[in-house]
């Protein structure tokens, strides 16, 4: 009887999760790398949501599933690429990119990346790698660029699917430092749906048992519309 009850509970939980899955149109959220700690801990990659969020996305959820919960990039966020040499890896001068903003706009998604639940001293170098494994799906010719700009507007490229010298498949500098929360521009070159495959990984320090930890591949979907 207990086994049947457990199976029913799991099925109901799965049904509830599926029912709540919906495109996310506004709110503060992060691509969230967590580590549960110790030699046998798990490294995970999920959404972290704050308050408020567009319904039915739950607020203040540190482990909101990525699967089924895509992010909407408004067409109104069109940006004309500068002719400055520093923007050459964003796109051709005068071309259009559609971006989630680095600074907060409460009418849309404000997306960051977060390692606040990865404690110092767990991983070698106090860093975890974030890799863009592949582009699973994209509109014809569609490109993705993750970058920041400083107070002078100068870009630093973190991930970039552009072919050639501009391509960046892993976070520079050996990865993302632990216990940080940053925001960036999430830019796409064409309207449509993009499925990007990410993975986070790190090497435990000898004091934590050594060895590699990985989230495995996680597919993240964005729709520019």
Q: Are 25 and 54 in contact (CB under 8 A)?
A: yes
Neighbours of 118 (CB within 10 A): 26
DSSP designation for 224: E
Average pLDDT over residues 196-220: 97
Q: What is the pLDDT of residue 21?
A: 76
pLDDT tens for each residue of 129-170:
999 999 999 999 999 999 999 999 999 999 999 999 999 999
Residues contacting 42, CB < 8 A, separation 6+? 35, 36, 213
8 Å CB contact between 32 and 47: yes
Name the one residue in this structure whose structure tokens are 């409460």: 106
Report pLDDT for 25.
98
Beta-carbon contacts of 87 under 8 Å, excluding residues fewer than 6 positions away, are: 81, 93, 155
pLDDT tens-digit readout, 179-198: 999 999 999 999 999 999 99
- pLDDT score at 15: 38
Three-state DSSP class for residue 126: helix
pLDDT, tens digit, for every residue of 81-139?
999 999 999 999 999 999 999 999 999 999 999 999 999 999 999 999 999 999 999 99
- Least confident residue range of 9-13, 135-139, 158-162, 203-207: 9-13
168 CB-side CA count, 13 A: 20
d(C-alpha 102, C-alpha 87), whole Å: 16
What is the number of H-type helices and E-type strands within the chain? 1, 15
Question: Could you state, in order of their start, the residue ranges of all structural domains in the chain?
Answer: 24-224
- Condensed to tens digits (0 to 9), the pLDDT of residues 19-32 reads 457 999 999 999 99
> What is the average pLDDT score of the chain?
92
Average pLDDT on 23-42 reads 97
Residue 79, pLDDT > 70, answer yes
Relative to beta strand 96-100, strand 78-80 is antiparallel
Rounded Cα distance between 105 and 183, Å, is 12
Q: Which among 173, 137, 170, 181 has a CA at the least distance from the CA of 30? A: 181
């Amino acid at each position: 009887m207990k086994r049947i009850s457990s199976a029913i509970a799991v099925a109901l939980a799965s049904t509830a999760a599926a029912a709540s899955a919906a495109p996310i149109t506004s709110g503060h959220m992060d691509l969230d790398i967590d580590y549960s700690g110790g030699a046998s801990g798990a490294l995970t990659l999920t959404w972290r949501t704050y308050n408020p969020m567009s319904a039915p996305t739950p607020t203040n959820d540190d482990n909101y599933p990525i699967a089924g919960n895509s992010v909407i990039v408004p067409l109104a966020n069109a940006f004309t690429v500068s002719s400055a040499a520093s923007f050459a890896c964003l796109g051709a001068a005068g071309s259009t990119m559609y971006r989630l903003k680095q600074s907060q706009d409460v009418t849309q998604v404000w997306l960051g990346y977060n390692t606040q639940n990865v404690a110092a001293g767990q991983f070698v170098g106090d860093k975890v790698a974030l890799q863009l494994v592949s582009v699973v799906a994209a509109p014809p010719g569609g490109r993705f660029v993750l970058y920041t700009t400083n107070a002078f507007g100068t870009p630093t490229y973190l991930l970039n699917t552009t072919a050639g010298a501009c391509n960046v498949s892993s976070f520079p500098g050996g990865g993302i430092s632990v216990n940080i929360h940053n925001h960036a521009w999430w830019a796409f070159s064409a309207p449509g749906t993009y499925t990007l495959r990410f993975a986070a990984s790190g090497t435990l320090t000898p004091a934590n048992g050594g060895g590699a930890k990985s989230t495995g591949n996680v597919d993240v979907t964005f729709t520019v519309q």
